[in-house]
Amino acid sequence: MTDIHSHILYDMDDGPESFGDSLKMCETAAEYGIDKIITTSHLTSPGMIDAFIKKRGSRLERLREEVSARRIGLELFHGAEVYVDDDIFYAKGLEKVTLNDSRYLLVEFDFKSLGANRLIRYIEEIFKMGLVPIVAHPERYRYLQSDYGIVNYLVDMDVLFQINAGSLASLGGREEFELAHQMALNNAASFIATDSHSHHGRSNDLLRMVRYFPPDIRRESLDYMLYDSPQAVLDDRPVPRIVRRRIVRKKRKGWA
């Protein structure tokens, strides 16, 4: 399996603090079925791109060397998780922090309050740059939890989505699980990743989490999100076409 979203590099963000912690995450990944990881440390400002790339490169190279020396069956690739706000309208050089130098840019937004029009303008700006946005963990955004219509609109724009394995394994809240479940069930998401930050807590024991996924998610869909689409990103190919159905928020008892 390929993990396209992982904070596995030490001393970069709110992920592992030490080299040893990074190495433990690599061992956990290999133990639980991951053989390829795109390292996606947080990039919080476009003005920090050059410094980010330099720091990322030194840490990634050291980790690759140790993974190879210990014969851990794991390949590591470079990328970033880019925080997008109004700075996107003036940003230069984002093609330098795509996933494995591909056309694909992993992005995240404000979690609590972002208007649909603003979100769409951000997405349009990324497309104008010739890049393809992959929205990280959409199920965690409150405004998407409350309005599935925004997700459907973005799907129609050919925006790609990455949902967290922990969300599908019911490790988050109910709203988070339900949106992730609907997206996985209806092929609205193209990727499942760990968004791991440590070897404990937010771990990357992916195979263990898969065992707790809802049983109605088809094996073909899992293969698409865990193997086929991630490999297309690594190869800088178009993500395989699949029928992406509209998602519907389920009504609960007591709702009007």
Q: Are 40 and 194 in contact (CB under 8 A)?
A: no
State yes or no: pLDDT of 139 exceeds 80.
yes
Q: Which two tokens stand for residue 180?
A: 């992730």
**Domain residue extents for the chain:** 2-234
- Is residue 255 scored above 60 in pLDDT? no
Beta-carbon contacts of residue 120 (< 8 Å; ≥ 6 apart): 153, 154, 157
1-52 residue pLDDT tens: 999 999 999 999 999 999 999 999 999 999 999 999 999 999 999 999 999 9
Band the pLDDT of 56: cuts 50, 70, 90. very high
State which H helix or E strand residue 132 sits in.
strand 132-136
End-to-end CA separation in angstroms for the chain: 42
Q: Tokens 């984002």 sit at which residue?
A: 94
Dihedrals φ, ψ of 105, to 5°? -115, 120
pLDDT of residue 201 exceeding 90, the answer is: no
**Residue 150: CB partners within 8 Å, gap ≥ 6?**
116, 119, 143, 144
Question: What letter does residue 187 receive in the DSSP assignment?
Answer: T
* Mean pLDDT of the chain, nearest integer: 95
Q: Please name the residues in contact with 174: beta carbons below 8 A apart, sequence gap of 6 or more.
A: none
Task: Please give the Cα distance from 119 to 162 (Å, whole number).
Answer: 16
pLDDT of residue 250: 80
Please say if the pLDDT value at position 166 is more than 80: yes
Confidence tier at 252 by pLDDT (50, 70, 90) = low
Torsion-angle region of 100 (φ positive above 0: left; ψ -120 to 50: alpha; else: beta): left
Q: Which amino acid is at 8?
A: I
Q: Residue 64: which residues within 8 A CB-CB, separation 6 or more? A: 76
Grouping H, G, I as helix, E, B as strand and the rest as coil, residue 236 is: coil
Superfamily name with CATH number, domain 2-234:
Metal-dependent hydrolases (3.20.20.140)
Listed residue (220, 223, 218, 163) closest to 188, CA to CA: 163
